[in-house]
Structure 1
Amino acid sequence: MKTISELLEGAAAKAGPVVRGIGDDQLSRATPCSEYDVRALLNHLFGVVANFQVLAAKEPVDFSRTPEFVTGDWRGRFGDETALLVKAWAEPGTEEGVSGGMGLPARTVGLMVLGDLTVHAWDLARATGQDFTPDPDSVAEMEPAFAEMAPQARKMGVFGEAFPPPPGATAFERMLAGTGRDPGWSPPRP
């Protein structure tokens, strides 16, 4: 079994090109997350990456605010922040015990950020017309974990109601459907 930091490294390698491929003219586009346009989803993802660096150290975080991260060289900064996330989760003991900020097993918290990084990279790729293939090791770890988390995640409003996966769906498509996403989503026509 791979460590969370190894999985995050693979996921970041897939997410980075998507973020770097987003044009400034695409920031107002719709995403599969109906409450977020591309800019808002980028800000959310940046916030997740930053907050889960803190959670790796088992410290509490404040999820109630989302600063504006999409300024200056935000594309380059995303790479820097994901590298810091990988490093934070590589520290000895990070996957042991309970997360100080969330009260969940540390590895579960690591899988949550892995899921955010992977699923939101797909969301952003779909919204901006880019190709995205998730890291297969990440999907293999996340699919059963997300299936287990789904009922509680729906109660908390983190996942939407499950979407019926298409016939012959891949593991990743089943995972997306479990979060309430349509794996065949495409942006509305202008």
Structure 2
Amino acid sequence: MTYSADIAEAARETARVTAAVTPDQLAGPTPCADYDTRTLVNHLVAYTGIGMELRARREPHPEGLDTRDFTAEPGWQAAYTAQLDRSVAAWSEPAAWEGEVNGMPAEGMAGMLFLELCLHGWDLARATGQDYAVADATAERLLDKVREYAQMYRDYKGFVEAAEVPEGAGALETAVALSGRDPYWAG
């Protein structure tokens, strides 16, 4: 099953959030305890921008991608938006969803990339005083993916234990909490 439309919506929202980041916010804290905003942005660009397209095309990550400071480059926000467009286009191709990517079923890889895109997009929104909003169906897809991969992410120290949410919390809040983030984080 493919969910290119959910990936596209999350990419649009994450691009919107990224476009509003100001240079003075880059040193600020984020809901990810190990990342300041600059580190979060660089991770986001490397893995959900460039890496997402490369995974769809079964191409290796270039050397130094994980240490590059994209925020030091002029026009980094527009470049990231353009890269997200290429990533969305790559995952819109039926062939991207077939076979394996790095020994994992392609749908599983897409799910993990979608999860990263949404959660780190949410992290960036919170870190910069913005809201992160996707349609209910996309939030439900995210919640499904967080439930599917939460233990694996915890095993690899990508998530901490789930946070509490009140009964009746929406899918986005619940997904954020299940990933170990405080859905009400405010800095």
Relative to the length of structure 2, the TM-score reads: 0.91
Alignment of 1:1-190 (within 5 A): 3-48=2-47, 49-61=49-61, 65-70=66-71, 71-99=73-101, 101=102, 103-187=103-187
Where does structure 1 differ by over 4 angstroms across 4 or more consecutive aligned residues?
none
Identity of aligned residues (%): 35
Inter-partner Cα distance in structure 1 for 2:137 and 2:51: 23
Structure 2 CA distance for partners of 1:32 and 1:50, relative to 1, 3 Å = same
Flag structure 1 segments of 5+ consecutive residues without an equivalent. Answer: none
Segment drifting more, 158-167 vs 105-114? 158-167
Structure 2: 5+ residue stretches without partners: none
Displacement after TM superposition at 1:88 (Å) = 1.2
**Greater helix proportion:** 2
Which letter maps to 2:97?
E
Q: How many residues align?
A: 184
Structure 1 residue 155: Cα displacement: 0.4
SS in structure 1 at match of 2:134: coil
- The one-letter code matched in structure 2 to 1:151 is Q
Counterpart code for 2:80: F
SS in structure 2 of the partner of residue 94 of structure 1: helix
Normalization by structure 1: what TM-score?
A: 0.89
Q: Which residue type is aligned with residue 155 of structure 2?
A: K
